Structure 1
């Protein structure tokens, strides 16, 4: 089995990208189509701010080529308002809101916790137990949505059975604990490797059969770019994870998980998204990293 590496961007609607990345005169409605032909995956982040509608998910799926993948950022209402407590109804609403309309283009669900939410093993265990790991379980959960609130804006049946993966991004130092890593491994949820310029924890523990990376900025969140040496460092790390190993220069807080398979490393798929989107850094850095990994598209960014 060969690992699949997807280098992408977080979102796609940013005015500074018009001209340097998007061709002059390209209408906004065509920006996703353009970006999706340069990158094999994009983070959908509008879903973080509000529930989207089935028609939007269907349109996004139609605007992207076969083999493309969206990762979907889960609502901040669940992570930042409810803070994972009593979240079943809200999670059901999220899965009922149209995710199934992405079909085979549905990638991992990203759960980003707020910086002031500390590790609580009991709370996190209960939340992770809620999460479905295939569309059959997700549909069963979606059936428990708030029918009155979701009326006219729901999609409850997936086109066919499909895997549902989850990735968790943490922003509090208390998560730097072996018990946290053990919980993620128990539920097969990926720990997000987040580069935040040293502001929040950056851990490289492997907790699932895929890796999820978010590069928010080498020094300034969302604003700073990555130089050639930094791109080379991340390329080396991605190669190590994809080959089934662990980069020697990444901090971990728990021993490596034992593999039940025969001797030898099992390749891992890797998702890596650039979230330094305030300027033109994200698409430029993503294209450069893809090129370093032999995945380049040949697109040039206009300076």
Structure 2
């Protein structure tokens, strides 16, 4: 369970050491999306710090640099990819998956480039691919081609579920901003591997967010019973409550699958007005 980031102004009293915010976050969740790696490849020193602040079973799902996915569109990007893989090597087993987030313009005619990238990765890397082109959701033949490619490469299709966000008109600046940036695509719940990854975004209203994830609680519980090991990331438009919501989602899954490993137990803190 995790969030889209490991630091937020609303979480400051849960992350008392400003130099080790990740360590504070890891007392609440055991996975995190690595969105910052999309904008810049971190230094080895930075990645070593991430490793020191987290347990060996903590999961990083790191987004490939935009130079690879958006600027070069997976073509002739070997130097940038090698630099990235070398930089994140200190994470060791914490690097749960490489997240290949593709632009909305990356469609069925580009699948050859995706196949070349996935087959060219060194052994030992798990991959999760997020597509946003409507054809992969609306055209059965395009969907089948993508699933076949991912299956042959041993990669997962990473869904970003925005259906609750777009279910009603945006009612706040944060929701309006999310509407302008997030893809509007159908919900997808089919896993291709033993390590499915889901990104879910709700709304400002906590009740709507929780009600909207009920199908995912059922799906995740089913995956666990099948022996899969899913990773779920909870978002809201401003993410202020996502830390506590991630723990609530986990608690709802535990109610369906007793005996599931618990999340870390954070040290007691004073009450937070936003939670």
Structure 2 length normalisation: TM-score?
0.78
> What are structure 2's unaligned runs of at least 5 residues?
138-142, 167-183, 255-261
The structure 2 residue matched to 1:302, chosen from 238, 252, 272, is: 272
Task: Give the SS at the match of 2:62.
Answer: strand
CA distance in 2, matches of 1:185, 1:224: 37
The structure 2 residue matched to 1:38, chosen from 11, 22, 28, is: 28
CA distance in 1, matches of 2:9, 2:81: 32
Residue number in structure 1 paired with 2:39: 49
1:125 aligns with 2:110: no
Residue number in structure 1 paired with 2:9: 15
Distance 1:75-1:60 versus aligned 2 partners, 3 A rule: same
Pairwise CA RMSD of aligned residues? 2.2
Deviation at residue 200 of structure 1 after TM alignment:
2.5
Residue number in structure 2 paired with 1:114: 103
Residue number in structure 2 paired with 1:276: 236
**4+ runs deviating over 4 angstroms:** 223-226, 296-301
Residue number in structure 2 paired with 1:234: 216
Distance 1:278-1:228 versus aligned 2 partners, 3 A rule: closer
CA distance in 2, matches of 1:182, 1:270: 21
Deviation at residue 165 of structure 1 after TM alignment:
0.4
Residue number in structure 2 paired with 1:183: 149
Residue number in structure 2 paired with 1:165: 126
| Pairs within 5 Å for 1:18-167 | 18-19=12-13, 22=14, 26-96=16-86, 98-120=87-109, 121-134=111-124, 164-167=125-128
Distance 1:233-1:297 versus aligned 2 partners, 3 A rule: farther
Residue number in structure 2 paired with 1:218: 202
CA distance in 1, matches of 2:265, 2:216: 20
Aligned positions, number? 237
Residue number in structure 2 paired with 1:200: 185
